[in-house]
Structure 1
């Protein structure tokens, strides 16, 4: 019997078996998501504090649930970046300059706030899908799995808000 030589992809060890280029690609995408999630989180707090109107109680409580979920996701993303030996973005200046999600004022109606959250979710999902794609390309099943959990949660929230606002 002749032994066949099996070719395997050789990686220069940098961290967890990923090359420096792979690590940079994965963590750069996660940092962009982190920045967007962080601005979204603060926007949810703003809306929680300042929502008014007939649906105040339900929306107020829902915004609180959402910002609590967002802060957990932010922590998970930042810690995942640390797993790769990199430093996550951590200042408001970095978040604001990197994020596609923009701050809003406090003078929005409840429906305008919901509309803003829906737009944020579209941006967050776009970044999550980008991280998933990069993770798959680089064989990073840990990050891929984490992102898919976020996607599932955001898609459900998106559906609920579109049903509430009659946009879906």
Structure 2
């Protein structure tokens, strides 16, 4: 048992999933920075600010995930090569279309949400309520952000009327 009363060997599975989330968050963060810097056109004012809000939030989440790993007496991934090797999210590269940017963010969210659900499941197996609580909050926020981005994307992509 570690100082939190958790079996260190059992917590290792949660740690692997937390490191996977950390790697994916790092690529997500960089994609958001890319989009923030390169957005232009008619959606500039809407999205420039939104991308900044999202990457600032991602930066904070990255730190919290790493600190949770350390709290569990595990080691967070901390190199770009490790992130690139571990992440399922890929670098977006040069994307100039605002709709493609939002679609990419929504795809990134799907990966992050799946990671979060895995962590909650693994942490539940070892009664790691601290991790469950932290990731549960992240999940709720990510689902809401996804809903809002999807609403924007659907409205601008399909020209859905404001009121039905």
Q: Given the two structures, how large is their TM-score scaled by the length of structure 2? A: 0.91
Alpha-carbon distance between aligned partners in 1 of 2:72 and 2:66, rounded to the nearest angstrom: 10
* Unmatched runs of 5 consecutive residues or more in structure 2: 159-164
Structure 1 position 70 matched with structure 2 position 58: yes
2:149 maps to 1:137: no
Structure 1, unaligned runs of 5 or more? 1-12
More helix by share: 2
Tell me: higher relative CO, structure 1 or 2? Use CA pairs within 8 A at least 6 residues apart.
Answer: 2
Query: What residue is the counterpart of 2:111 in the other structure?
Result: 123
CA distance in 2, matches of 1:163, 1:20: 42
Q: Are the equivalent residues in 2 in contact too, given 1:45–1:67 (CA < 8 A)?
A: yes
CA distance in 2, matches of 1:97, 1:15: 31
The equivalent of 2:38 in structure 1 is: 50
Moved runs in structure 1, 4+ residues, more than 2 A?
none
Please name the residue that 1:99 is paired with. Answer: 87
| Distance apart, 1:15 and its partner CA | 4.3
Offset at 1:84? 1.2
Match of 2:138 among 123, 131, 150: 150
TM superposition shift of 1:35: 0.3
Deviation string 1:10-42 (CA, Å, 9 cap, x unpaired) is xxx234222232121111110000000011001
Once superposed, what is the RMSD of the aligned Cα atoms?
1.3
Query: Is the Cα–Cα contact under 8 Å of residues 15 and 85 in structure 1 kept in the other structure?
Result: no
- Counterpart contact for 2:39–2:48, Cα < 8 Å: yes
Q: Within 2, Cα distance between the matches of 1:18 and 1:86?
A: 12
Deviations along 1:88-136, one digit per CA (max 9) or x if unpaired, are 0011110111000000122330000000000000000000000000111
> Is contact 1:132–1:143 with CA below 8 Å preserved after alignment?
yes
1:18 has 2:6 as partner: yes
Number of residue pairs matched by the alignment: 156
Asked if residue 36 in structure 1 is aligned to residue 20 in structure 2, the reply is: no
CA distance in 1, matches of 2:60, 2:79: 17
Structure 1 residue 70, shift from structure 2 partner: 0.4
| 1:56-80 deviation digits (Å, cap 9, x = unpaired) | 0110000000000001110000000
